[in-house]
Structure 1
Amino acid sequence: MSEPVEGPASEAGQWSGAGQMERDLILTDEDFRQIRQLIYQRAGIVLAEHKREMVYSRLAKRLRHHGLTRFSDYLARLARQPEAREWEAFTNALTTNLTAFFREAHHFPLLAAHVRERREPVRIWSAAASTGEEPYSIAMTLLEALGSRATNAKVVATDIDTEALERARAGIYPVEQVHKLDQVRVKRFFHKGRGRHEGLARVRPEVASLVEFKALNLLAPSWPIQGPFDAIFCRNIMIYFDKETQAKILERFAPLLKPDGLLFAGHSENFSYISKVFKLRGQTVYTLAERR
C-alpha cells in the first residue's frame, strides 16, 4: 500500500517564500478536521495536526481541477457523490510512494531461503505494492531462488493508490533508479530504453509475468485475494494506522498465511505489542504464533 503523506523536508520547505504566495484556496479548521476523518474512515490513515500544509498542497490540485476555491465546496461535492471516481482521486492525493528496488535488503535472502526447497507453487502477497518496486524485487528473488520452477510462482501485488498501480503495471523506471542494483541483476531483469525511451528501463517479461496487480484497501470488509501465501510483505504502512486498525489487519493476515509462512514488516514497525497472532522470528520478520 502506498504510504500516507509524510511531509518530507524538501516539500515542507516549499511553504516558505514563493510557496506562501500561491496559497489562494480556503482551508478552514473544520475542513481539515473533515479531511482527516474521511481519510481515516476510507483508508485507515491517521493524519497528524502538523500535516495541514501537506494536505493543502496535495488536495489543492483537485480543487483547481474542478474550478473550486474553497475546500468546503470540494468536501460537499464528495458528500453529494459517495460513489464518484473523485473519491479515488481524493485517496490517491493523500498517499505518497516511498519505495525502491530491494528496499530493506535483508528480507530477500530470507525469502529466497524460505521458498527454495518448496515443491508446490509459491505464492507471495505484496500488500503495499506502491509503484511496483517491491513486488518486482520479490519476483526477481523467486527467479533467482527457484530457477525454472519460478514460472509456476505468483506475486499478488495490491495497493489502494490506483495511479501508483498503473505505473507499477507499466514496469518502466528511470535508469538511474535501476542502476542502483548490481549489474548482474540489471542485465538479467531489465531492458534499457533507446531512442525516445532513452534514460528509462523496463522490467523484462519473465519478471512481469510473475506479478498480478490489484487495487485493494486494507480496510475494506472483504479482500479480492485468496490464500494461502508462503509470505506476506506489509512494510512501512502499518505505522500510519492506529493500534486498533493494525491489530484488525494482523488478525486478517493470519488465515491467509501457510502455517510456516512469513510476515515481513518495515524497519520501524513492531507487531509484537499489537497482536498475539504473530511472533517475532528475526529482524522485522514474523511467523504465526500458533499453527492454524
Structure 2
Amino acid sequence: MKEEERPARERIALRPMTDREFSLFQELIYKEAGIYLSSVKNTLLAGRLTRRLRELGLPSFEAYYRFVLQEGEAERILLLDAVTTNETHFFREPGQFEFLERRLLPEWSREGESGRRPRKIRVWSAGCSTGEEPYSLAMSLLLQFPFTSGWRIEVLATDLSTRALERARKGVWPIEKAKEIPPRYLQPFMLRGTGSQEGKIKAGPEIRSIVQFERLNLNEEVYPTSGPLDLIFCRNVLIYFDAESKRRVIDRLLRALSPTGYLFIGHAESLTGLADRVRSVLPTVYVKGGGRGNAEWSRKP
C-alpha cells in the first residue's frame, strides 16, 4: 500500500518516547502488574505501544498515557497485553518433566493406592502464555493417571495477557510445534489438522477437558484459587519483577500451595533471599520451608 493510500491516522508522525513518557508508563505498569521495566527498555516499550497509538490516531505517547487513564480497565488490559512477552514451548525445561514423571507422580500414585493421599491432583500453570505449558502438564498427568484410573486431575492455567489466553483456549498451533512433543504424547493427546486445518495441530478432547483458562494478574492481593494446589508452575515470569514484587508473588503462591506441594520456576530465575519460605529439592524445584517435602533428589536417576 502506498503511503498516500494509508488512513490518515496511520500516517501521523509519532514523536520518539521521551524519558518522562517512559517514566509515566514505567510507574503505571509497575502499579498495575508489578512488572518493572528498567530504563534500557525504553525502545522496546515504544515499539510495543506504537501500533496501538496508530490505531487510535494519537500523536504522542503522553497522549496515549492520558487515554489509558481515561478509558480505565479495558485499555489497561490492552496496554499490559502489549507489554508482555508470550514465547513458550511444549515440555519446556525437560529436566523438570523428568523429575515429575520419573519421581514425583509414581510416588503419588503409590500413596494414592495405599490411601495415604487423595486420588486427586490440582495443578496451576501461572503465566501459561499460549497454552503449551498447561497442555504439556495435562499430557504428562493423564499418561500417568488416565481417566480409567479413578484419579481426578485439574489444571488451572492463568495469564495476564488476554491475547495469549485467546490463543491458548483455541489450543491450535502450527504443525512445526509437534517436534517439541515427545512421540508418546502425540498420538494419544493431539489431533492433526486436515483440509482447511492442514499444517496445524490441536489439543485433543481429553487434555482440553481438564484444563481451565482464566485471566489473572499476579500483582493482585488475593489469588482466586479454590483449595490447595499440588503443583504450581510459575516459570519465566518472576524475571519481570523486582525483588519486592517477586517476594510478594512468591508469598501468595505459597499460600495457594499444598503443604506437600511443589513450586517450579524457570532456570533463569532464582529464589535467593527466600530461604525462610522455601526449600530446594532440585534446582528450580521447591517445597515450602516448613513442609514435609520429599528427600533431596540428585540429578541422576
Superposed pair shares fold, TM > 0.5: yes
Q: Which residue of 2 aligns with 1:218?
A: 218
Measure, in 2, the Cα distance between the counterparts of 1:141 and 1:111. Answer: 8
Residues 186 and 291 (structure 1), Cα distance of their counterparts in 2 relative to 1, 3 Å cut? closer
Measure, in 2, the Cα distance between the counterparts of 1:150 and 1:213. Answer: 24
Measure, in 2, the Cα distance between the counterparts of 1:132 and 1:213. Answer: 9
Report the CA distance between 1:275 and its aligned residue.
4.8
Q: In the TM superposition, what whole-angstrom CA distance separates every residue of 1:123-144 from its partner, at most 9, and x where no partner exists?
A: 0011110100000000000011
Q: Equivalent residue of 2:212, what SS?
A: strand
Q: Equivalent residue of 2:120, what SS?
A: coil
Measure, in 1, the Cα distance between the counterparts of 2:34 and 2:158. Answer: 16
Matched, 1:253 2:243: no
Decide which of 31, 44, 52 is 1:54's aligned counterpart.
Answer: 44
Q: Equivalent residue of 1:106, what SS?
A: helix
Which stretch shows the higher mean deviation, 275-284 or 111-120?
111-120
Q: Which residue of 2 aligns with 1:139?
A: 138
Report the CA distance between 1:165 and its aligned residue.
0.5
Measure, in 1, the Cα distance between the counterparts of 2:14 and 2:151. Answer: 52
Which stretch shows the higher mean deviation, 98-107 or 250-259?
250-259
Q: Equivalent residue of 2:145, what SS?
A: helix
Q: Equivalent residue of 1:153, what SS?
A: strand
Report the CA distance between 1:24 and its aligned residue.
3.3
Q: In the TM superposition, what whole-angstrom CA distance separates every residue of 1:152-200 from its partner, at most 9, and x where no partner exists?
A: 2000001110110110010001110122323332222111111111111
Matched, 1:71 2:61: yes
Report the CA distance between 1:82 and its aligned residue.
2.5
CA contact (8 A) 1:127 1:159 kept: yes
Matched, 1:108 2:107: no
Number of equivalent positions: 270
Measure, in 2, the Cα distance between the counterparts of 1:23 and 1:32. Answer: 20
Q: In the TM superposition, what whole-angstrom CA distance separates every residue of 1:256-280 from its partner, at most 9, and x where no partner exists?
A: 1121110001001111423511111
Taking structure 1 as the reference length, the TM-score comes to 0.88
The share of aligned pairs that are identical, in percent, is 39
Which stretch shows the higher mean deviation, 256-265 or 267-276?
267-276
Q: Radius of gyration: which is bigger? A: 2
Measure, in 1, the Cα distance between the counterparts of 2:271 and 2:12. Answer: 40
Which stretch shows the higher mean deviation, 181-190 or 41-50?
181-190
Q: Which residue of 1 aligns with 2:153?
A: 153
Measure, in 1, the Cα distance between the counterparts of 2:188 and 2:133. Answer: 17
Measure, in 1, the Cα distance between the counterparts of 2:57 and 2:164. Answer: 25
Q: Which gives a bigger RCO, structure 1 or 2 (Cα 8 Å, sep 6+)?
A: 1
Q: Equivalent residue of 2:270, what SS?
A: coil
Q: Equivalent residue of 2:214, what SS?
A: strand
Report the CA distance between 1:248 and its aligned residue.
1.2
Letter in 1 for 2:94: A
Taking structure 2 as the reference length, the TM-score comes to 0.85
- Alpha-carbon RMSD: 1.8
Alignment of 1:1-292 (within 5 A): 24-26=13-15, 27-83=17-73, 85-112=74-101, 113-116=103-106, 117=109, 118=112, 119-147=118-146, 148-149=148-149, 152-291=152-291
Report the CA distance between 1:69 and its aligned residue.
1.7
Report the CA distance between 1:121 and its aligned residue.
1.1
Q: Which residue of 2 aligns with 1:14?
A: none
Gapped runs of 5+ residues in structure 1?
1-21
Q: Equivalent residue of 1:88, what SS?
A: helix
Residues 49 and 150 (structure 1), Cα distance of their counterparts in 2 relative to 1, 3 Å cut? farther
Measure, in 2, the Cα distance between the counterparts of 1:273 and 1:222. Answer: 23
Measure, in 2, the Cα distance between the counterparts of 1:202 and 1:175. Answer: 9
Residues 133 and 226 (structure 1), Cα distance of their counterparts in 2 relative to 1, 3 Å cut? same
Letter in 1 for 2:83: L
Report the CA distance between 1:151 and its aligned residue.
6.2
